[in-house]
Amino acid sequence: MKEDEQQQENDGSGGIKGLFERIGQAISGEPRDRVELMDVLRDAQRRELFDIDAQAMLEGVLQVSEMQVRDIMIPRGQMVVIRREANLDEVLAQAIESGHSRFPVIGENRDEVVGVVLAKDLLRYFAEGQTGGGFNVSEYLRPASFIPESKRLNVLLSDFRESRNHMAIVVDEYGGVSGLVTIEDVLEQIVGDIDDETDIEDEEGDIHRHSDKRFTIRALMPVETFNDAMDAEFSNEEFDTIGGLVTHAFGHLPRRNESVTMNGYRFRVLRADGRRIHLLEVHTPKPVETKPEQKD
């Protein structure tokens, strides 16, 4: 038994090297193009040479090399930004409301990105014992990285690693800002959605409260339940779930970070795949006091 285990360790079959060796063994004849290579990978998975998660990541790596920044960027209109003239209260409200850790700082408009501020840098202000009256966003600016829409994701990922930046501002051919992209956006194309502490765990029910006007909800939440919880009046005649209602409002299957407003309620897609929405962020038009099925 030990000899078998030693042999397995020596030939690399228990690690990454073994995975690629088994892929090589599965390929009978060299694939002529990427489509044939994908077919080979799927056939190898069906023969259980590696599991479905490994297959998904391998396909993700191949797809990333073909994708451009414009395919996954957060559009300009959906960027959460901070104005250069913002006072401390405005900056803190923006940071708390969005839950992000990095923010582009703009001048007169979104085409004038003067830098990036990190939420953790704001802690220095309080650690130094200063008061809100002397706060100046410009003192905490870090240089912004600008990239073209046409940049390949595999090249961008390499640049992120070398520069240690986690966010880049995307510009169009005329130099105008068209959006932003983060390292998480790129990695999710390979490994799938990366959950964080703001996502709802299975045991938490359909609603997670962030503030009295901001919530995270499951897209499969029944419209009637949403209405009761959020003091809303959406019709459930055509759609049973809030996800179906939101998808209809978009007019297409939305991608992550796309948003739409209905009856004063703003819905932002937090998680979705090629078939349906999974998770939504909701901003209500007025404070909501109590929530059925809610777990803080």
As a three-state string, the secondary structure of the chain is CHHHHHHHHHCCCCCHHHHHHHHHHHCCCCCCCHHHHHHHHHHHHHCCCCCHHHHHHHHHHHHHCCCEHHHCCEEHHHCCCEECCCCHHHHHHHHHHHCCCEEEEECCCCCCEEEEEEHHHHHHHHHCCCCHHHCCHHHHCECCCEEECCCEHHHHHHHHHHHCCCEEEEECCCCCEEEEEEHHHHHHHHHCCCCCCCCCCHHHCCEEECCCCEEEEECCCEHHHHHHHHCCCCCCCCCCEHHHHHHHHHCCCCCCCCEEEECCEEEEEEEECCCCEEEEEEECCCCCCCCCCECC
Domain end call among 141, 172, 191: 191
pLDDT band at 1 (very low <50, low <70, confident <90, very high): very low
Last residue of a domain, one of 156, 191, 226: 191
Give the CATH number, domain containing residue 86. 3.10.580.10
Is 86 inside any structural domain? yes
58 domain residue, yes or no:
yes
Q: What are phi and psi of 180, to 5 degrees?
A: -145, 160
Supply the mean pLDDT for the chain.
Answer: 79
- Whether residue 182 sits in one domain with residue 116: yes
Mean pLDDT of 14-20: 56
Could you tell me the pLDDT band of residue 145, with boundaries at 50, 70 and 90? very high
Give how many domains the chain has, as a whole number: 3
Quote the CA–CA distance of 225 and 147 in Å, as a whole number: 43
Domain harbouring 206, CATH code: 3.30.465.10
pLDDT at site 2: 45
pLDDT at 133 over 90: no
Q: Both 53 and 10 in a single domain?
A: yes
Does residue 236 share a domain with residue 180? no
pLDDT, tens digit (0-9, with 9 covering 90-100), for 101-119: 899 999 989 999 999 999 8
Boundary-marking domain end, from 134, 164, 191? 191
The pTM of the full predicted model, rounded to 2 decimals, is 0.58
- Structural contact between residues 282 and 267, judged by C-beta atoms closer than 8 angstroms: yes
State residue 21's pLDDT score.
Answer: 60
Rounded average pLDDT over 47-57: 73
In this model, does residue 290 exceed pLDDT 60?
A: no
User: 151-165, 194-208, 210-224 — which is least confidently predicted?
Assistant: 194-208
Average pLDDT over residues 75-103: 85
Q: Are residues 17 and 80 in the same domain?
A: no
- Domain housing 52: 2-64
Q: Is residue 289 a part of any domain in this protein?
A: no
pLDDT higher than threshold 90 for residue 149: yes
* Model pLDDT, residue 202: 44
**Residue 220, φ and ψ in degrees, nearest 5:** -80, 5
Residue 132 within a domain: yes
In percent, the amount of the chain with pLDDT more than 70 equals 78
Residues 172 and 77 in one domain: yes
Give how far Cα 14 sits from Cα of 10, 41, 51, Å.
9, 18, 13
Cβ contacts of 63-68, under 8 Å, gap ≥ 24 = 63/189, 64/153, 64/154, 64/157, 64/186, 64/189, 64/190, 65/152, 65/153, 65/154, 66/34, 66/152, 67/152, 67/153, 67/189, 68/149, 68/150, 68/151, 68/152, 68/153
pLDDT above 80: residue 73: yes
Residue 224 banded pLDDT, cuts 50, 70, 90:
very high
Of residues 40 and 291, which shows the higher confidence score?
40
Q: Enumerate residues 6+ apart whose C-beta is below 8 A from 241.
A: 219, 220, 221, 222, 223
